[in-house]
């Protein structure tokens, strides 16, 4: 067993810069173990047994029909992506991950499909699924808080690469610090951070990736490295700021992120209106989106198909109707909440306001996003709001729900939402579009189609309808006067265009980085971008031709 001394070499900080820029943090990483295998395998079963024998005592390997295996399959959120791999390996330390990568880079030829890396298993474009071996990182879930170096800095939290956000909320509760994590608790910090990271207080503190100061990563040859924006692995660090599961080149075993002060109280309001009130509601929403100046107010405007008077009931389909819901969060007191959202009370069919702390807030979103459904989680962004925007998106949404009903589906919690983002991320974002892999120096409101179905023959219908929504939003944004904006990576669709998600330059840079560190295209599940090797293996499914 190797021990890992979390030595930190704090460097002088440069203040008054956005995000991580100007902040240099160096952390030590464990030394790379040397693994040897009996490489006369005659079957994958033998190979897996040899891998297991090389791992630490707390690591494990699960075979089909074991409870542990079933628990990993059950973590996959989009039902249509469930896969049954030959085995699932659970590393318990970064050194275990190194041994797995050394094994994989030697013996990958034994399998037809590449190994997959799983954190939370929620990404609707895949990546964590394969028929060969899934590397389930859930044991790598330590959360360690490093106190701030001085009063002008924030604490740095070290988060294991397999950690679900709910676990981090639990661990930080009572420390006075919070972190920019996924809002539903079962989402992995891995996919979330590598794909950008829209957190509860992103409007005030920027996206998850803006707060990343370094990553510990195991490369394909097993070398354990530390990447920050200033060292020899700055290209890897850069890829992790929103392009990390597109240019997948290794396994992130630890994220180092700036924490932020725990806001204490959180108010969660839901203002629900029947559709007939839309002419009164749209202007209220427009006024909020255009004029809000309180960084602690973070709402989202949602379309649902449910009972407006009993919004949390599971109503029979025949009693549901189209409703508009203003999900109004406020990080601070109820008085602050009422100041921000006063106008929303008047016409509501129902209003609920509940106080939470970050720790107990964690379950509130999960009921919107149940397990066991075939589902997508995709969207585009927009800078401006207008009655037209809402009229048109609502009518596209309604037609989709009606289409699902006509196909015998229960639309369940199928929803469309525009998530409000504070202008310019309150100055906490990146200073320019090449500073991070996901260009986001201009902030935008982020929409999401979360549509559900059960009969697989309706999957194409859902894609078609979501494309109609995306096409409309593309056209709408083209008609407003705004600096370029880019769609949110974690809400990627197979038909999203790389030029609209990462921009052509950043996308090409991601391809170069993958080319450099994964020259054989060994990590090739989910989103596969066009390196030479990925192309010649015929594995590319996401390129500038999309």
Ligand X SMILES: *[C@@H]1O[C@H](CO)[C@@H](O)[C@H](O)[C@H]1NC(C)=O
Ligand Y SMILES: Cc1cc2nc3c(=O)[nH]c(=O)nc-3n(C[C@H](O)[C@H](O)[C@H](O)COP(=O)(O)OP(=O)(O)OC[C@H]3O[C@@H](n4cnc5c(N)ncnc54)[C@H](O)[C@@H]3O)c2cc1C
Chain contacts with ligand Y (rule: CB under 6 A): 77, 116-123, 127-128, 137, 161, 182-184, 187-188, 190-192, 194-198, 245, 248, 251-252, 369, 377, 490, 526
Cα separation values, 265 from 329, 337, 355, Å: 11, 11, 7
* Residue 434 binding: pick among ligand Y, ligand X, none (C-beta 5-8 Å cut-off by kind): ligand X
> Shortest gap between Cβ of 176 and ligand X (angstroms)?
25
Can you count the helices (H) and strands (E) in the chain? 15, 22
Partner interacting with residue 150 (select from ligand Y, ligand X, none; CB below 5-8 Å by kind):
none
User: d(Cα 529, Cα 331) in Å, to the nearest integer?
Assistant: 39
Which residue do the tokens 């040397």 mark?
Answer: 34
Q: How many residues bind ligand X (CB under 6 A)?
A: 41
Report the residue number, 320 or 440, with the smaller CB distance to ligand Y: 440
113 contacts 526 by C-beta, under 8 angstroms? no
Residue 528: name the closest of 113, 127, 221 by CA.
127
**CA–CA distance, 340 with 298 (Å, rounded to integer):** 10
From the list ligand X, ligand Y, none, pick the one residue 198 interacts with, judged by a Cβ distance below 5 to 8 Å according to partner type: ligand Y
Please provide the DSSP assignment of 23-92 as one string: --EEE--PPPP--------SSHHHHHHHHHHHS-TT-EEE-TTSHHHHHHHTT--SGGG----SEEEE--
Q: Hey, is 460 helix, strand or coil?
A: helix
Judged by CB under 6 A, the stretch of 37-45, 162-170, 199-207, 254-262 that binds ligand X is 37-45
| Cα–Cα distance measured from residue 538 to residue 525, given in angstroms and rounded to the nearest whole number | 12
| Region from 182-190, 294-302, 497-505, 519-527 binding ligand X, contact rule CB under 6 A | 519-527
483 CA to centre of own chain: 24
DSSP 147: P
Q: Give me the least distance between CB of 217 and ligand Y, in Å please.
A: 7
Among 152, 291, 293, 460, binds ligand X (CB under 6 A): 291
Closest to ligand Y by CB, 242 or 308: 242
Considering only residues 294 to 353 of the shown chain, the ones binding ligand X according to CB under 6 A are: 334-335, 338, 345
CA dihedral 445, 365, 368, 460 (to 10 degrees): 50
Footprint of ligand X on 485-504 (CB under 6 A): 494
The span of 52-60, 82-90, 189-197, 354-362 binding ligand X (CB under 6 A) equals 52-60
According to CB under 6 A, which residues from 54 to 73 bind ligand X? 56-58
Q: How far is the CB of 286 from ligand X (least distance, A)?
A: 4
Q: Is the dihedral of CA 46, 50, 53, 58 positive or negative?
A: negative
- Of the two residues 141 and 393, which places its CB atom closer to ligand Y in the complex? 141
Stretch that binds ligand X, among 96-104, 172-180, 284-292, 360-368 (CB under 6 A): 284-292
Is there binding between residue 402 and ligand X (CB under 6 A)? no
Reduced 3-state DSSP string for 173-185: CCCCEECCCCCCC
Q: Pick what 66 binds: ligand X, ligand Y, none; C-beta below 5 to 8 Å, kind-dependent.
A: none
Strand runs labelled E in 388-436:
415-419
Characterize the bridge pairing of strands 87-90 and 133-136: parallel
Other beta carbons within 10 Å of 314: 11
Cβ-based nearer residue to ligand Y, 207 or 284:
207
Least distance to ligand Y, CB of residue 488, Å: 7
Give the C-alpha separation, 400 to 123, whole Å. Answer: 22
Least spacing, CB of residue 83 vs ligand X, in Å: 10
CB closer to ligand Y, 372 vs 408:
372
Q: Which token pair is 140?
A: 């790598």
Of 55 and 117, CB closest to ligand Y: 117
Whole-angstrom distance, CA of residue 133 vs CA of residue 108: 10
Is the Cβ of residue 55 or residue 529 nearer to ligand Y in the bound state?
Answer: 529
Stretch that binds ligand X, among 61-69, 200-208, 318-326, 431-439 (CB under 6 A): 431-439
Which listed option, ligand X, ligand Y, none, makes contact with residue 421 (CB within 5 to 8 Å by class)?
Answer: none
The pairing of beta strand 60-62 with beta strand 87-90: antiparallel
Residues that bind ligand X in the complex, under the rule CB under 6 A: 1, 21, 38, 40, 42, 56-58, 125-126, 219, 221, 223, 231-232, 286-287, 290-291, 334-335, 338, 345, 383-384, 431-432, 434-435, 455, 457, 480-482, 494, 517, 525-527, 541-542
């Amino acid at each position: 067993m190797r021990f890992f001394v979390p030595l930190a070499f704090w460097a002088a900080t440069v203040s008054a810069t956005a995000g991580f820029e100007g902040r240099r943090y160096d952390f030590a990483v464990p030394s790379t173990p040397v693994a040897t295998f009996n490489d006369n395998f005659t079957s994958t079963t033998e190979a897996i047994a040899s891998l297991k024998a090389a791992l630490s005592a707390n690591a494990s390997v699960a075979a089909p029909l074991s409870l542990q295996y079933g628990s990993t399959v059950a973590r996959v959120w989009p039902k249509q992506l469930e896969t049954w791999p030959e085995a699932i390996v659970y590393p318990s330390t970064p050194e275990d991950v190194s041994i797995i990568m050394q094994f994989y880079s030697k013996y990958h030829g034994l399998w037809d499909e590449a190994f997959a890396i799983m954190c939370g298993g929620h990404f609707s474009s895949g990546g964590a699924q394969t028929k060969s071996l899934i590397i389930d990182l859930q044991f790598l879930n330590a959360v360690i808080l490093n106190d701030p170096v001085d009063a002008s800095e924030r604490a740095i939290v070290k988060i294991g690469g397999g950690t679900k956000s709910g676990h981090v909320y639990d661990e930080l509760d009572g420390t006075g610090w919070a972190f920019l994590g996924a809002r539903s608790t079962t989402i992995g910090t891995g996919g979330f951070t590598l794909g950008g990271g829209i957190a509860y207080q992103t409007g005030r503190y920027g996206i998850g990736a803006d707060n990343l100061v370094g990553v510990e990563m195991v490369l394909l040859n097993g070398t354990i490295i530390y990447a920050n924006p200033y060292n020899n692995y700055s290209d890897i660090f850069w890829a992790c700021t929103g392009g990390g599961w597109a240019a997948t080149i290794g396994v992130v075993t630890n994220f180092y992120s700036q924490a932020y002060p725990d806001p204490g109280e959180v108010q969660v309001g839901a203002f629900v209106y029947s559709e007939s009130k839309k002419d009164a509601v749209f202007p209220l929403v427009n006024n909020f989106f255009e004029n809000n100046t309180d960084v602690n107010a973070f709402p989202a405007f949602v379309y649902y198909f449910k009972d407006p008077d009993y919004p949390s009931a599971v109503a029979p389909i025949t009693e549901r109707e189209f409703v508009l819901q203003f999900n109004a969060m406020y990080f601070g007191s109820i008085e602050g909440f009422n100041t921000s959202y006063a106008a929303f009370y008047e016409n509501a069919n129902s209003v609920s306001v509940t106080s939470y702390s970050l720790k107990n807030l964690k379950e509130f979103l999960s009921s919107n996003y149940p397990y066991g459904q075939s589902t997508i989680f995709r969207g585009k962004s927009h800078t401006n709001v207008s009655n037209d925007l809402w009229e048109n998106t609502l009518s596209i949404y309604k037609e989709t729900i009606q289409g699902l009903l006509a196909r015998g589906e229960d639309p369940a919690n199928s929803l469309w939402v525009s998530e409000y983002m504070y202008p310019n991320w309150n100055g906490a974002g990146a200073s320019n579009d090449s500073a991070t892999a996901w260009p986001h120096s201009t902030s935008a409101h982020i929409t999401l189609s979360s549509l559900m179905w059960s009969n697989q023959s309706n999957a194409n219908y859902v894609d078609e309808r979501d494309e109609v929504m995306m096409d409309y939003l593309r056209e709408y944004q083209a008609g407003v006067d705004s600096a370029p904006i880019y769609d949110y990576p974690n809400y990627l669709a197979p038909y999203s265009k790389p030029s609209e998600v990462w921009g052509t330059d950043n996308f090409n840079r991601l391809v170069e980085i993958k080319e450099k560190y994964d020259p054989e295209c060994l990590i090739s599940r989910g989103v596969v971008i066009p390196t030479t090797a990925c192309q010649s293996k015929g594995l590319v499914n996401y390129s500038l031709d999309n």
